[in-house]
Every structure is written in structure tokens, then in C-alpha cells.
Amino acid sequence: MKKKYRHVAAVHSKPRTSCLSHDSEVSPSFLGFRNLMVIVLVVGNLRLMIENFKKYGVLICIRCHDYRRQDLILGAALYFIIPCHLFLAYVVELVAAQQARASLRAGKKRDGTATPGGSYIASDEERQKFQSTWITIAWIHGINVSLCLLITSMVVYFFIHHPLIGTLAEVHAVIVWLKTASYAFTNRDLRHAYLHPSSREEDALPEIYNECPYPNNITLGNLTYFWWAPTLVYQPVYPRTTRIRWVFVVKRMAEVFGLNAFMWIASAQYAAPVLRNSLDKMASLDLPSILERLMKLSTISLVIWLAGFFALFQSFLNALAEVMKFGDREFYTDWWNSPSVGVYWRTWNKPVYQFMKRHVFSPLIGRGWSSGAASIAVFVFSGVLHEILVGIPTHNIIGVAFIGMVAQLPLIAMTAPLEKMDGINGRIIGNCIFWISFTLIGQPLAALLYFFAWQAKYGTVSKQTVTA
């Protein structure tokens, strides 16, 4: 049925605001702009890919890598030697556990020496012997972990030329070094609690440890599990899953292999030409050109880093955790939303953060250090480890990685107030500062400086002429 339309409809019937105005009643969705940014990003990178192939052709070459036979042999030897330090720590702890058992039995046999808490009052001679034994154990652990890092670093720096093989060996050594230190520290405190139990609530051990109390945890099987578990912090017991999902493992490992192939292609095809073309600008200190190269390198370095992050923390560690039935898989949280630089360092790499907090930061706080001083100590220590991981495999200990870590402290201090501001603006500004420091100043500059140092020392790639 037709109805005659009258041109009298009240289009403007009430006061309304534009949707982008501050006083708008409903916050608009920006999903369309997000889609636009993704499209622009994809199109822009496709253009760069086409330009790259037109300018350089295919730079990927499987047989072009200069792996010396000596590098492979020494790298394989280090792979098997490095874990021996962890098992040497097990032998030390086994002796310490036997001594603790003997001391407790000896104390309980003497009349009037047993305390209500189950500990004992040792004689002066026993106390002196016990103290000297503990000092000896501490020295053996210290020498053991030091040799773990020292031997690997010496072999890598002086005898392994290829930086990738050296980096893999150095990363392995640092992981075992941290695990060994955690194993020694944790068992020391468990041993003290075993010999001197306390009824105070703050001294109580975690309830989960009741499943495997000290010294029952000092077994080869317990240590082997910790060796392979995706954590740097030793516990006698971990939360466990009931079964292994092998399909899940296969999917995660497929992601690892796929992302590693992607990173290799991206590095060879896109990052390498930018780095090579930056050498003459670095040598002449052409600052505008260096800045332009940094901005050009920042995109591909960020893509490679994100792919590496996902391959390691999401794919590989989850696959390893599944095989080990390791239950706690919070290897990271949403660091990309970090409202400050400090939040980023606490969330992007939880295994390292948990180690630093448990074995470095918290003990220093317990000794009376201020939070700021303890944080400085943590970043100085972390800076040393970063310099070892980068400087030794590249045979250029120039301090860039160390300075980069220590330089995080003023950034943390600058962005911390933004995190606590009312409203969302402070968090947005803090997140922008984090991303700028991360994508432009941090990784690209470090990669450029170490690449320049490598070429200045060896000059194997800088002789190639590649036009910008």
C-alpha cells in the first residue's frame, strides 16, 4: 500500500555532538582506522620488497655461508661440555646433603640438644666445621659457574670465528650458568631450613615443596628435569600437566622452523644490504645519512625481532613445556602494551625477570639496599651478560650492549610517572616512548655499530659494492 511522504520529518530533533568531540556520549570505534593502517603497512612493505628485488635480485644463498670446520667441531664440543657444570653442582649438593643429614642425626643423638622445632644446638667444634664446609661449598659453586662462562667465552672469542655458532654456544653457557646459580642458591636456603626449621609464618617454605622436601630433591632425575625445563629458576617441584599433546608439539615446532626460515630470508635479503650500505656513512660520520639508515633498518629489524620473539617464547618454549609437562607457561605477558619502559622489562622475558628478581633484586633488598640501588645492580649485571652474549661472538667487546642496558635506567625513571598518571594519556605517551626507544634507538643502532665493528676488524663483507 502506497503512502504519501511528507517533507516535514524532524531530522534535527535533539542536541547532539560530533562523534570525535570530547563531549560525545558514545566513544567511537576506530576499527576501520586499524584496518587502514594494516593495509597501508602491508602495501608499503610490498612496495619495499618489489624495490629490493629489482635493485639487488635474490641475495639468498644456502652455500654462501663460511662455516669453518673448526667452528663446527668446537661448537659441538661446547654443546656437550657446558652442561657438565650443572652436574658438577649436583655432585657438590649431594655431598652437602649427606653432610646435612649426618649433622642432623648427630645433633638428635646427643641428650638435651634437640630443640622443639626439630633443629639442634651444635657444639663449637661442630659449628666451626659446619661453617667451613658451607664456605667450601660456596667457593666450589662459585668456581664452577665462573669456569662455565669463562671457558666458553675464551673458546668462542679466540677459536670460533663464525658469530652465529659463537652466539649459540654463548647463549647455552649463560643459560646453564644461570640455572647452576639458581640450583646452588635455592638448595643452600633449603638446606638451612632443613637444619634450622622455623615456626614463623614468613619463614615457611612454599606449600608445593612439601611434595619433595629437602634433601629428597637432590637426585639426578630432579636435576635433569630442571636442566630441560623452560625456566631459569630452580624449584624442587613444579606445576605439571598430566599428558603430552604431540599434535600441539608438532604445530609449535613447525612454527619454529617456519619463523627461523623467515628470519634467515629477511636478514639476508633485506637487512644485510642496508647494513652494508651504511658502512661508508658510518666511516665518514654522515649523521643525516646514518639516521636515514637507522630508520630504514628499524622496520626490518623490528619484523625479525618480533618473529624471533614469537618463535622462541610462544612456539619453542611452549613445545618444550609440553614435552616436559611443565605447567606454568607464562613466559611473557602483553609487553606490547607497556605504559612504561620498566613494565616492558618485567613482562617481555619472564624467565630472566623471575631469575633476576629471585636471585639478585630481592636478596639485595633483604640486605638493606634501596629499590633504586637494587635496580641499578640488576641492570648492570644484565648489561654485562648482554655484552658477553653479543660482544664475544662478534669478537668486538665495544660496550654497546652494556651501555644499552644501563641506559634503560633513565628511560625507566622518565616513563614511570606516566604509568601512574590518571587517565589514559600518560600510558599512551609512555607506550610511545617505549616503542620509539625500542624500534629506532635500540636494536637498529646496536646492530649497526656491531656490524661496523665487525667489518672494521675483518672486512669480509664491506669490500662488496652494493648501491643504496
Percentage of the residues of the chain whose pLDDT score is greater than 90: 45
Write down the pLDDT at residue 201: 73
Nearest CA-CA partner of 437 in 409, 402, 397? 409
Nearest to 284 by CA among 397, 452, 396: 452
Q: What angle do CA 142, 145, 149 make, to 5 degrees?
A: 135
pLDDT tens for each residue of 300-338: 888 889 999 999 999 999 999 999 999 999 999 999 999
Does residue 462 carry a pLDDT above 50?
no
Ramachandran assignment for 370, one of left (phi > 0), alpha (psi -120 to 50 degrees), beta (any other) = beta
Alpha-carbon distance 290 to 301, whole Å?
Answer: 15
If we measure between CA atoms, which residue out of 336, 271, 337 comes closest to residue 299? Answer: 271
Cα 226 to Cα 19, 172, 237, 238, 335, distances in angstroms: 56, 15, 9, 9, 26
User: How far is residue 462 CA from its own chain's centroid?
Assistant: 31
What is the distance between the alpha carbons of residues 183 and 410, in angstroms, rounded to a whole number? 33
- Quickly state the pLDDT bin for 18 (edges 50, 70, 90): confident
Distance CA(372)–CA(364), nearest Å, equals 11
pLDDT per residue as tens digits for the range 81-98? 999 999 999 999 999 998
Q: What is the mean pLDDT of the chain?
A: 86
Q: How confident is the model over 433-451, as a mean pLDDT?
A: 84
| Residue 215: cis peptide before it, omega within 30 degrees of 0 | yes
Alpha-carbon distance 276 to 287, whole Å? 16
Predicted model pTM: 0.86
Query: How far is it, in rounded angstroms, from Cα 196 to Cα 109?
Result: 16
Banded pLDDT at 116 (limits 50, 70, 90): very low
What's the pLDDT band for 185 if we cut at 50, 70, 90? very high
Q: 174 pLDDT exceeds 90?
A: yes
Question: Taking residues 36-44, what's their average pLDDT?
Answer: 86
pLDDT at position 265 over 90: no
Q: Give the mean model confidence (pLDDT) for residues 31-40.
A: 88
Q: Which residues are catalytic?
A: 386
